[in-house]
Amino acid sequence: QKEVEQNSGPLSVPEGAIASLNCTYSDRGSQSFFWYRQYSGKSPELIMSIYSNGDKEDGRFTAQLNKASQYVSLLIRDSQPSDSATYLCAVNGGKAAGNKLTFGGGTRVLVKP
Amino acid sequence: NAGVMQNPRHLVRRRGQEARLRCSPMKGHSHVYWYRQLPEEGLKFMVYLQKENIIDESGMPKERFSAEFPKEGPSILRIQQVVRGDSAAYFCASHEAAGAGYGYTFGSGTRLTVV
């Protein structure tokens, strides 16, 4: 059973601070990694993708990937109340897995003003 | 340039009725994935379809659930004889080609409530 694990939270962060979210995955054949943001009652929205080891920055978001440790993380800098949402980690297992995304259970983030 | 369109947005069914959920992929996309999200949980893969073909239905319950993606028209997820445990949000996503580099764009979802 290929799994993606996340701490469910809630992760409470003061406004302006850095929120750090973690995700581990079990399938070493995984090839691409994604972070989605989901507001309550809404559909998931793709916010970051990362394919190779290291950091990838996009605005206030930084994704980090370490394939040796099977670990991917998301940093949200200068957190805003509008960042309060559930963040879903997703892993694409490649052709062998039918190129389907496997999702973690999500981490709920609360940014307090 | 419309995104992935799902309808209805909300669907209420009594136990034992049938539910039909529709997904129109983005223009030019021939690959569709369906996911289910139970309350307070992550998304669970159900089925992957290409036009007129089911590629992977490993996440689909063996009974009462079926999916199709005809040559013309939207993809349909059909749930027969619904039970309360089927109450969930059902999302579909599409893309133009298979590949590990793709993060999907999801439709707005159908929220099914079984009463």
CA distance B105 to B33: 10
With beta carbons under 8 A apart, name residues in chain A contacting B106.
Answer: 43-45
With beta carbons under 8 A apart, name residues in chain B contacting A107.
Answer: none
pLDDT digits (tens, 9 = 90+) for B5-16: 999 999 999 999
What's residue B99's pLDDT? 62
- Judge: A49–B107 Cβ closer than 8 Å, yes or no: no
Closest partner residue to A102 (CB to CB) among B45, B55, B98 is: B45
- Judge: B91–A100 Cβ closer than 8 Å, yes or no: no
What's residue B96's pLDDT? 77
φ, ψ of residue A13 to 5 degrees: the values are: -130, 130
pLDDT digits (tens, 9 = 90+) for A2-49: 699 999 889 999 999 999 999 999 988 888 999 999 999 999 999 999
Query: Residue A50: closest CA among chain B residues belongs to which residue?
Result: B101
pLDDT digits (tens, 9 = 90+) for B45-86: 999 999 889 999 999 999 999 999 999 999 999 999 999 999
φ, ψ of residue B86 to 5 degrees: the values are: -80, -10
The two three-digit tokens of residue A98, written as one number: 């039918």
CA distance B77 to A107: 28
CA distance B5 to B109: 8
Query: Residue A105: closest CA among chain B residues belongs to which residue?
Result: B42
Contacts with B49 (C-beta within 8 Å, 6 or more apart), sequence order? B31, B32, B33, B34, B55, B67, B68, B69, B75
Closest partner residue to A105 (CB to CB) among B42, B55, B91 is: B42
- Band of residue A99 on the pLDDT scale cut at 50, 70, 90: confident
User: What is the rounded average pLDDT for all residues in chain B?
Assistant: 92
Longest dimension (CA), chain B: 40
Closest partner residue to A43 (CB to CB) among B41, B48, B91 is: B91
- Band of residue A96 on the pLDDT scale cut at 50, 70, 90: confident
- Is pLDDT above 80 for A52? yes
Shortest CA gap A8–chain B (Å): 9
Q: Within the 63-82 window of chain B, which residues sit less than 8 Å (CB to CB) from chain A?
A: none
Specify whether the CB–CB gap between A2 and A26 falls below 8 A: yes
The two three-digit tokens of residue B115, written as one number: 């009463």
With beta carbons under 8 A apart, name residues in chain A contacting B58.
Answer: 98
User: What is the rounded average pLDDT for all residues in chain A?
Assistant: 93
